[in-house]
Amino acid sequence: MKRIKQLSENLINQIAAGEVIERPASVVKEFVENSIDAGATRLEIEISNGCRNIRVADNGGGIHRDDVELAFSRHATSKIYNQDDLLSVATLGFRGEALASIISVAKVTCTTRTADSETGIKVECENSQIKVSETGCAVGTTMDVRDLFYNIPARLKFMKNERSELAAISETVQSIALSKPEIAFTLINNKNSILKTTGSGEIKTTIGEIYSKNIIEEFCEVSKDDKPFKLVVSGFVSNPDFTRSNRKAIYTFINGRTVKCPILMKAIENAYSDMIASGKYPYAVLNLSIPYKDIDINVHPAKREIKYANPNLIFGFVHSAVRAALENNDKFFAKSLLRVETEQDESVISTSYTQTTLNTSAYAPEKNVIDFREYQKSSTNAFSPEIDQDDIQEMTLRRNKWEIAEKVEPKSEIPSVSPTTEDSMTEKPLIIGQMDNTYILVSTSEGLLIVDQHIAHERYLYEKLKEQKNSSNPVSSQLMLVAETVSLDEEDIDLFRENAAFLAQNGYEVEAVSGKGVRLRRVPNILAQKDPTKVVEDILEALQSAPEKIEDELLMRTACRASVKAGEKLSLWQMEELIKNWQSTKHPRTCPHGRKIGHLIPRSELAGYFSRIINT
């Protein structure tokens, strides 16, 4: 039997390094965090030799000459001194493991000087052995790593290719730069600068420097505080129609510390639950300020995870903050996008032509305006109204599949509303027409707006259904005149039986017929004229989704099935009402499944097609 022996100090450090130093990005993270804790305002990170050589230079306070050797020992730190300090760790580092771990797997040279020293100190480390000498240098610290993992072939073998390792380093620096916008960062790879921030102190500016200046237009600000629990969340999240296919652009911070927190991640993603498509994720840069006594960061060796005293409180707080920010931003978006000018400004575009303003309110008396709000209450198809041809005439000209609605003067008994009223300025959209019986063309003060009629109507119906579901009033429903049996296998029939009460709350009454299928006895009003087989299929797909998503899935599928379809011809008044209802929604950018609803072609872009100049 083998005897128990004390491990050597170097082997102990190498084992510890396996927890702390996983890859080159881990080295960068530890050095950068030490620089920030030392009060640095400028950092330069330089990478070379396939990411095995790393140099981090800062202008921080430096390391005192009497502490230099001790700094490379395990569990030696200036951040905490006793057990009580663990309850209020305000620095990024505190364990004192990083430097000892790094010098056990790489050749390290440290050059440092404090402001009260005339000369600097140079420390050379290899195989956990330290050599100290004096040298000349500026105030601050420079850590120079060479041949990372040179003495651990197994770890070196499993390093990824240079591109992947550099991407991990870049992501690490980006994350820290976003958490500390007051610090200037420069990341250099093989003498080429690949990331640079100015240390402006503005998170909005830093986001623009990391991505691009134009991208900030796609973000909305998040700001909320809870005084009783001393919580503050701040930062930026992207609009629902600006997403990416992975979570790499979601940056979360706790008291300025970068963390990978499932609770914060889930809160952010759930806030977008009915606004972005499955498999898509927003951009987010959020910092949560929370009392130190309510968290524990001493959970993971790399300090990436965190525990909360009250996780449910944190989830609800962040979720509501993000949701409120998106709703407020979308309200502004809807109002500004459909703003209609009361008078045509002839100086807007340099041209001798003038535009005739269409008074759409003069098309029909109030009784003939199709109210989409009544669409939910009606058992008939609201898109097939009976219009008195003696009162109204509609002329449709077809040109290259563009449906252009033209005004025919109404009879004198039809009331006309002046286009200068507040209603015409803020509520009545200026409809140009319909393209391919699918897209509604709207003239706005910003340019030409193209709206997909199906998904715009779907968004409106979904929010109305959800509003009704959340109120004390039951979902409006009606009995089916003929209850047809829809064939299903026994497993699916059982699924309907198990969820009968849930379906009843949402306006559905389904009768299970053993060995045959199910019969729809009652459905929401807006589905009264729809194919029962398709409705059952929608219900079944919703019931088969994840438990926490079943209710939203059912509402989404109900709204999708009931909404006007692509290829369905609409009258001018129906288009007006649809656009107005869409404009009134809380989240007009996307449908509940995440598809973009409208696309704006700016006036300047349109003018450019014809070599016209827009006067500013």
Question: pLDDT tens digit string along 234-246?
Answer: 999 999 989 999 9
Q: How many CA atoms lie within 13 A of 274 on its CB side?
A: 28
| 447, β-bridge pairs | 602
As a whole number of angstroms, the distance between CA 369 and CA 389 comes to 14
Considering 4-13, 348-357, 598-607, the range whose residues carry the highest mean pLDDT is 598-607
**pLDDT score, position 213:** 83
486-506: pLDDT as tens digits: 888 888 989 999 999 999 888
**Mean pLDDT, rounded, of the chain:** 80
* Residue range(s) in the chain whose domain bears CATH number 3.30.1540.20: 360-455+569-609
**pLDDT score, position 140:** 94
* Residue range(s) in the chain whose domain bears CATH number 3.30.565.10: 9-200
221 and 233 Cβ atoms separated by less than 8 Å:
no
136-179: pLDDT as tens digits: 899 999 999 999 998 888 888 888 899 999 999 999 999 999 99
pLDDT above 50 (res 481):
yes
80 and 86 Cβ atoms separated by less than 8 Å:
yes
CATH number of 360-455+569-609: 3.30.1540.20
Q: Which residues of 241-255 are buried (b: 16+ CB within 10 A; e: fewer)?
A: bbbeeeeebbbbbbb
Binned at pLDDT 50, 70 and 90, residue 381 comes out as very low
pLDDT (average), residues 173-188: 95
Q: 151: Cβ–Cβ under 8 A, 6 or more apart, which residues?
A: 105, 127
In the numeric block, the tokens 């609409």 are attached to 570
Binned at pLDDT 50, 70 and 90, residue 336 comes out as low
Structure tokens given for 106: 């790489």
pLDDT above 80 (res 301):
no
Q: 376: Cβ–Cβ under 8 A, 6 or more apart, which residues?
A: 461, 464, 465, 468, 476, 524, 525, 526
pLDDT (average), residues 203-217: 90
* Residue range(s) in the chain whose domain bears CATH number 3.30.1370.100: 477-562
**pLDDT score, position 513:** 85
Pairing relationship of beta strands 447-452 and 477-479 according to DSSP bridges? unpaired
CATH architecture of the domain covering 9-200: 2-Layer Sandwich (3.30)
Helix (H) or strand (E) holding 155: helix 153-157
CATH 3.30.1370.100 fits 477-562, yes or no: yes
- Say which residue, 351 or 548, is predicted with more confidence: 548
**pLDDT score, position 542:** 92
pLDDT (average), residues 524-544: 91
pLDDT (average), residues 96-102: 78
Angle at 376 between CA 372 and CA 378, to 5 degrees: 95
Binned at pLDDT 50, 70 and 90, residue 355 comes out as very low
pLDDT (average), residues 305-322: 91
Distance of CA 115 to the CA centre of its chain: 44
pLDDT above 60 (res 478):
yes
**pLDDT score, position 78:** 57
pLDDT above 50 (res 379):
no
377 and 370 Cβ atoms separated by less than 8 Å:
no
Quote the percentage of the chain above a pLDDT of 70.
76
Least confident range of 106-115, 391-400, 564-573: 391-400
pLDDT (average), residues 586-614: 90
Q: 19: Cβ–Cβ under 8 A, 6 or more apart, which residues?
A: 101, 301, 302
CATH top class, domain 211-337: alpha beta
pLDDT above 50 (res 290):
yes
Provide the residue type at 326 as one letter.
L
pLDDT above 60 (res 435):
yes
Considering 154-158, 262-266, 444-448, 545-549, the range whose residues carry the highest mean pLDDT is 262-266
Structure tokens given for 454: 């199906």
3-state secondary structure of 384: coil
Its pTM stands at 0.71
As a whole number of angstroms, the distance between CA 14 and CA 100 comes to 9
**pLDDT score, position 279:** 87
